Amino acid sequence: MSEYQYYRFECVNSSLSVPQRNRLRNISSRADITSHSFCVQYHYGDLKADPEELMMDFFDIGIYYANWGQVNAYLKLPAGTIPNDFKVINAECYVSLVENEQNQLLIFSLEEDDHYRDDEDAESFMLHLAALRAELFAGDYRVLYFHWLSRAYDDPRLKPLPLIAFDFHQLTPAQLAFTALFGIPLQSIRALHLLLQSMPAHSPQTTVLTAQQQVAKLTDADKDALLCRLFDEGKIFAADAYALLRTQETPIEYSHWVTVASLHPFWHVAEKEVMQEELTAEAERLARETLLRNEHLEAVYKAHQSHWDRAFEEAARGCASGYDNASFTLQVLFDAYQLKLSTSVFKQKFDVFISKNKQRKALIKRLEPLQKIVLSL
């Protein structure tokens, strides 16, 4: 299997200046570089830069995947966005948190992934990363729990996380995409949902302020700083203002916590609930498929003569594709007659078809499985 690596980084709250794009071009002459993104693929070799440094210097979200199963997802946020008590999620091979004075960078990792992925999957996931970043801005920290929960069943040494009454039963589309990509067990998330129903927890602070309310929270000095940046750099972004607002917020002192021990009583019930929901969903899926199939067969039965005519026409072509089409048409016709409890009528017409095409050995060979079924009726 040949090697394949894919890198994609994007700006959400900013754009790349011409000097920045020139710096990126020096890193890769083959990359697709726009005012908001950097994308490059490698069939051999590697990116001549550290993805962490690229994220810290230029971008807000990013993804990397390789065809041997490694996946990294990147989320950059202004310093102070992630509360200190959530930094305990930092764990080698799962989640990394890199910080400087201006930014916090989350790197979610998957070392081995057996699922096939392509560039379109990666591009689609970038939309989910942008949504997750916006959720974190708004104080929705659910994504920070997921890798911790995936390890909670087997690792009693995990440090506790703040217990906040987020809705872990109804996840957002971005959160569902994240749990699917990184293989987060649904029963672990359900266990936390059950725990929250039985223990006191902090209320989520996810109120979204209007633009006027956000401006009102800025001090005159902060407003002056933003205006100076606008005149110096020619542009400012919402993230610049968010960073200033974060510095004014008083850190929350948490008193309710989720621990590995507090989750354990809920594992069994969570597993049973998730299993039952999966069985129910599968039964509903099969029922929908059966309904659609029967509707199709009803339509075939109503127009059965045209389908018999088509089978004869395809057989008369005398080629492999014609024989394949005729065989398929006859199988669908049989299913339609069977649905209408008219297999005896089908047998009569099928015998006529076989008699008129008995010299077509390749066609008769294709029809042997159906012949055996018809003869057994």
Query: Which mean pLDDT values do the consecutive 10-residue runs of the chain (377 residues) have?
Result: 86 89 92 93 88 94 90 93 92 87 93 74 91 93 96 92 96 96 95 96 77 70 73 65 59 90 96 96 97 97 97 96 97 96 95 95 96 91
- Do the domain assignments include residue 272? no
DSSP code string of 71-88: EEEEEEEETTSS-GGGGG
Task: Look at residue 236 in the predicted model and tell me its pLDDT.
Answer: 65
Task: Look at residue 8 in the predicted model and tell me its pLDDT.
Answer: 95
Task: Look at residue 238 in the predicted model and tell me its pLDDT.
Answer: 62
Q: Are strands 61-66 and 103-110 parallel, antiparallel or unpaired?
A: unpaired
Pair 232, 298 in one domain: no
* Burial class of 67 by CB neighbour count within 10 A (0 to 12, 13 to 18, 19+): middle
Which of 232, 264, 296 delimits the end of a domain? 264
Task: Look at residue 212 in the predicted model and tell me its pLDDT.
Answer: 72
Pair 260, 132 in one domain: yes
Expressed as residue numbers, the domain containing 212 is 5-264
Task: Look at residue 93 in the predicted model and tell me its pLDDT.
Answer: 73
Task: Look at residue 292 in the predicted model and tell me its pLDDT.
Answer: 97
Task: Look at residue 119 in the predicted model and tell me its pLDDT.
Answer: 74
CA distance 374 to 160: 65
Q: How many structural domains does the chain have?
A: 2
Structure tokens at 39: 């994308």
Pair 212, 325 in one domain: no
Task: Look at residue 253 in the predicted model and tell me its pLDDT.
Answer: 87
Phi, psi of 142 (to 5 degrees): -55, -35
- Do the domain assignments include residue 274? no
Q: Where are the alpha helices (DSSP H) in the chain?
A: 18-27, 51-57, 119-137, 142-152, 173-181, 186-196, 211-217, 220-233, 238-248, 260-263, 267-302, 304-316, 320-339, 343-356, 361-375
- Do the domain assignments include residue 271? no
Structure tokens at 107: 């790197």
pTM of the model: 0.78
